[in-house]
Structure 1
Amino acid sequence: MRFGTIGAGTVAEAVAGHLVTAGHAVTLSNSRGPGSLRDVVARLGPSAQAAPVEEAARADMVFLTVPWPRVGDALAGLPPWDGRILVDTTNRMAEPADADPGAVTPSELVATLAPGARVVKAFNTLYARYIAADPRHPEGRQLLFYAGDDAAAKATFHDVVDRTGFAPVDAGTLRDGGRLIQVGGPLSALHALRQDPAGEAR
C-alpha cells in the first residue's frame, strides 16, 4: 500500500514517521516543492521521499495535513481520486453554526472538495506531540478516534494505524462522528490510553 501526504509540517512528519517505522514507504509533499523537504526526508530515512503534491496525492492513502484555511487550495487541481482514501487531519475552529445538528461538518466539506475520495477524519483530536510520540506506553496504547462514511475505507485505516501502535476507535460517520471529534466536540483534545488485555499489546 502506498502512502502520501499533502502538507509536510509537524503532523505529516509524525504520521509519516510511524508509517516508516511500520515498514511502509511514504511520499511527502507541500506547496513549496520537493526541494524544501530534503531535511524532513533525511530525518525519516530511505523509505520516505518528497514529490510534487500531484504525485503524493496518487497514493492509496493520502493524509491531508495543511492548515484549515489552505484546504481548498491544497485540494484544487489534483488527479481524480477514484476511490482512494483521503485522511483529513485538519481542524476548523468552532463556529456558532456547528451547534446546529444539520450543519455540514468540516470533513463533509472536505469530501465535497475531493469528489471520489473516501474520506476518513482522524488525528485532529490529538496535539502534535501526542501524535509524534510512541503510541505504545506501559499503561496502554494512545486512543485514536476516527470517523467516515465508507466502511471499507475505515476498516483499512483502522488496520494501518493499529499496526503503527495506536488504539483506533470508530466514532461514527462524518456527520455524527465528525461532530464528536471536531473542535468543540466532546472528544476533541481528549488524550487517553486503552489498556490492552494481557498478551494483546502490540
Structure 2
Amino acid sequence: MSYAIIGFGKIGHALAKAFARKGIEVSVATTRDPESFASDAAAIGPTILPKTLAEAVKADIIFLAVRFESHPDVAKALPTWQGKTIVDVTNAYGVPPEQLGGQPSSKAVAQAFSGARLVKGFNHLVAATLDQDPAVHGGKRVVFLASDDDGAADEIGALAENLGFAPIKLGGFSEGGLLVQARGKSWGHLIFKDLVKFDR
C-alpha cells in the first residue's frame, strides 16, 4: 500500500509527521517543484518523500490537504481516480452552501475525484494539535471518519490506528459526516473538539 499527501502547508506537515513517527513512507507533493520543499520534508524524516504531483497521485491512498478551493485543480491530475482512496482533509469554511448545491462539501469533492472511494477525515483538528504525538495521557487522540463507502472508512480507520490515532466512524457524509463539515460560516459540531479515547 502506498501513501501520499497532496498539500504541504501546516496540515500537510502535521500528517507527514504522523507517518514519520511510525517510520511509514509517504510521498508529499504540491503544485510546486519538489526541490522547493525538499529540505522541509527532509527535516521531518527520511520516510517523507518529496514528489511531483504527477508522481504522488500514483499512490493508493491520498490525503487531500489543500485549500478546499484548490481541490478541482488536483482532481485534474488524473482522468479517473478508480482504485484509489482519497482522504478529504479540506474544510469548506466560508464557501456558500448554494455553491455546493446544498450538499456536504465532501460530496462535491467526491464528484471531482470521479471513481475514487472518498473518506472525510483528519480535518477536525487544528494543525498544531494534529502535529502532536497522538498518544495522550495513556489514551489515543480521536480522529473522526465519515464515508458513504464502509469499506473505505474501514481501510482509513486501520491506517489511522497504525498512525497511533483512535478512529471513530460517524457514518455517511449526509448523516454523521455533517458534524465534521463546515457549512458557509458555521463549523460542524465536532470540529475543533480534541478528544482522547482510553481503552478500559
- TM-score, normalised relative to structure 1: 0.89
Displacement of 1:45 after TM fit?
Answer: 2.1
Aligned residue for 1:42?
A: 42
- The amino acid of 1:117's aligned partner reads A
8 Å contact from structure 1 (residues 146, 177) kept in 2: no
Confirm or deny that 1:167 pairs with 2:180.
no
> Number of aligned pairs?
194
Aligned residue for 1:200?
A: none
Aligned residue for 1:193?
A: 196
8 Å contact from structure 2 (residues 57, 77) kept in 1: no
Structure 1 segments of 4 or more deviating over 4 A?
none
- The amino acid of 1:120's aligned partner reads V
Displacement of 1:88 after TM fit?
Answer: 0.5
The equivalences for 1:53-202 within 5 A come to 53-93=53-93, 97=97, 103-183=102-182, 184-197=187-200
Unaligned runs of 5+ in 1: 198-202
Identity %: 33
* Change beyond 3 A, Cα 1:7–1:95: closer
* Aligned partner of residue 145 in structure 1, secondary structure: strand
* Separation in 1, partners of 2:87, 2:42: 24
* Separation in 2, partners of 1:191, 1:41: 26
- The amino acid of 2:177's aligned partner reads G
8 Å contact from structure 2 (residues 53, 77) kept in 1: no
Displacement of 1:95 after TM fit?
Answer: 5.7
* Change beyond 3 A, Cα 1:44–1:95: closer
* Separation in 1, partners of 2:84, 2:75: 14
Displacement of 1:46 after TM fit?
Answer: 1.9
Confirm or deny that 1:5 pairs with 2:15.
no
Unaligned runs of 5+ in 2: none
- TM-score, normalised relative to structure 2: 0.90
* Separation in 1, partners of 2:121, 2:190: 12
